[in-house]
Chain A
């Protein structure tokens, strides 16, 4: 996965605020990369561009050698559904669904009603395994508001993993958690990287968290600073 010369600016009235000013970097398969930067340095924006949630003003995002930032919406939806898993600072679970249903959401989105019905046992087993993996075995039937912050984040990680993605994109996964819980989450991520050779790109402002990754990239005022 690579980016070359990414530019992105947000418009505020007539004034364009440049956020990313030419980013070039690569992520290798099986790597645990963390991107560290101050608030407002554009690290979340960069992650959104990597996850095709947003489009760059200039530059390219490539995935396995193919350019993905200019794909049509349907292909990008598919990419997000199958190849990228995303974890957010505020967990972003659907409040109406239980932990198990939240984990199943990517499968529900991917499949038609009939297709899901046919494979429902398989999906359910996989979701249960993932919840066990992140240590939420007895929290499956709970709604997000009945879970603690750490539990919600673990459920979110399980959800990101359901479709067996190639890359996990984590946006400040520990940002809203206390130190101890944050460490647990980091342990989960590190284990996934180590045992399942999952490529992880994590964005954080916390140097201590960032250092647990294989490689750290520093983002200052929209540019990469070699670490």
Chain B
């Protein structure tokens, strides 16, 4: 009983012990904040990674693909059983994309970008990935059709969920058919004006404004000398969905600037699946833009309908009409053991032709790096608490020396060595509990208010802490894992108790007479 009373009194009267509490508190708070933010980032990243890839990816090693996805899918289903809930074949091929950009001299110039062209089956691709959720047109999110829409593309990022930091994308407001028609008329006018000297004097109806075109789309084409087989004002090429990173850039203030909009045409060059390879070029009309918020994907992937790509690349057998594919995305039932099913599928197909991997395998180095980073960070941060432990050791040793006479008094009154030890162990325990408790509260509060704090810091320093130009999230993602928090607090309390063992033993072993006469 005296142990409790004395612990309590020492806790209230020794202000130096507050230093220990503060150091434990800071260590615990930092660990909680860092772990929550890292867990948030990891979770966000994994969701994105898994969102774009199926749970399992079945790929053939050849870029030119193999025939008959249906046959392969049937066999996969047979091997994996009812764990498979969805499959979708894709064809992917490295390609070059040319976007016409208006230069400072009002001349258009082609901007070339290396991309990965992915042919997807729009009817099944949504079953295996979250691809549809990342599109900018609400109707496309319900069902992707690879057709240009009349307008109504999201001006506000639907994934930001009304966040104030999300800057509106004003350019997308005019994307769609009206934009395409307007652009076609402008181009036609320019073409006409430039060629006027060589040809004939301009006639008034040729300069009809865009408004007239809407009533009579063919008006502009009247009197055209060459026979035309494609009219950009009314027709579209093969639909294409661009990653937001391939057709826009983000300004320092966080606004996105588009260099191509839905309605624009781009040209894509890719090799045919023949020997020797032959490069072919296709015009495509941008029908939507997707944003997975994984810059690796957003800046690299471009999607077209699989059938069209198969035909362009010569991957369709002219007699049977069966196309070749390069990979099959597989979606598994929630809770299914992906590694086990991967191994089963792997065993069922010749390994020299096919690669089967989970999305984790595909992103293995990245995930491992993040995990490593988190582990190292945790070790380093735990060192902070260990340092706090040494602080407790030093301060307790001091307190024991200071309290030598009191220890002698207690012993002369019949307190046992064990009891005296208990005072200091209990003292360490209570410091640990108070420190860990306050630290936990502080850490959780910090995590809860982290975006406000980041904003405030940004305003104070004039330098945004969490720059939306760098990250694709508008908020700092956090996940508080109760297990982690519990372990951190437990660890801190343990360190506090361990650090007080040495001084407590020293106190317990003091000789009562020597302690009483200690000056």
By a CB distance below 8 angstroms, the chain A residues around B411 are: 53, 77, 80
A4 at the interface (CB under 8 A from B): no
B333 at the interface (CB under 8 A from A): no
With A81-B413, A92-B405 already in contact, the answer to whether A53 and B1 are too (CB < 8 A) is no
SS class of chain A's interface: helix, strand, loop or mixed?
Answer: helix
B412 at the interface (CB under 8 A from A): yes
Where the two chains meet, the residues of B that have a C-beta atom closer than 8 Å to any C-beta of A are 1-2, 4-6, 9-10, 13, 405-406, 408-417, 419, 511-513, 516
In whole angstroms, how far apart are the Cα atoms of A82 and B413 in the complex? Answer: 9
In whole angstroms, how far apart are the Cα atoms of A219 and B416 in the complex? Answer: 31
By a CB distance below 8 angstroms, the chain B residues around A86 are: 412-413
How close is B474's CB to chain A, nearest CB, in angstroms? 54
7 nearest interchain CB pairs?
A81-B414, A108-B2, A96-B9, A80-B414, A116-B1, A92-B409, A108-B1
How close is B62's CB to chain A, nearest CB, in angstroms? 77
Which of B4, B5, B9, B417: most chain A Cβ within 10 A? B5
Instruction: Verify B513–A53 contact, CB threshold 8 A.
Output: yes
By a CB distance below 8 angstroms, the chain A residues around B412 are: 51, 53, 80, 86, 88, 92
How close is A100's CB to chain B, nearest CB, in angstroms? 12
With A48-B513, A54-B512, A109-B415 already in contact, the answer to whether A92 and B1 are too (CB < 8 A) is no
SS class of chain B's interface: helix, strand, loop or mixed?
Answer: helix
Where the two chains meet, the residues of A that have a C-beta atom closer than 8 Å to any C-beta of B are 48, 51, 53-54, 73-74, 77-82, 86, 88, 92-97, 101, 105-106, 108-113, 116-117, 159
In whole angstroms, how far apart are the Cα atoms of A117 and B5 in the complex? Answer: 13
By a CB distance below 8 angstroms, the chain B residues around A79 are: 414
By a CB distance below 8 angstroms, the chain B residues around A97 are: 5-6, 9
By a CB distance below 8 angstroms, the chain B residues around A81 are: 413-414
How close is A92's CB to chain B, nearest CB, in angstroms? 5
Number of A-B contacts (CB under 8 A): 72
Instruction: Verify B410–A109 contact, CB threshold 8 A.
Output: yes
By a CB distance below 8 angstroms, the chain B residues around A105 are: 2, 410, 413
Given A92-B412, A108-B1, A159-B413, 4 extra CB contacts under 8 A: A81-B414, A88-B412, A109-B410, A109-B414
Instruction: Verify B516–A92 contact, CB threshold 8 A.
Output: yes
By a CB distance below 8 angstroms, the chain A residues around B410 are: 94, 105, 109
By a CB distance below 8 angstroms, the chain B residues around A95 are: 406
| Nearest-CB residue, chain A, relative to B6 | A96
In whole angstroms, how far apart are the Cα atoms of A94 and B9 in the complex? Answer: 11
How close is A14's CB to chain B, nearest CB, in angstroms? 19
In whole angstroms, how far apart are the Cα atoms of A78 and B10 in the complex? Answer: 25
| Nearest-CB residue, chain B, relative to A83 | B414
Instruction: Verify A73–B414 contact, CB threshold 8 A.
Output: no
| Nearest-CB residue, chain B, relative to A112 | B1
Instruction: Verify B516–A109 contact, CB threshold 8 A.
Output: no
With A113-B4, A116-B1 already in contact, the answer to whether A53 and B516 are too (CB < 8 A) is yes
By a CB distance below 8 angstroms, the chain A residues around B406 are: 94-95
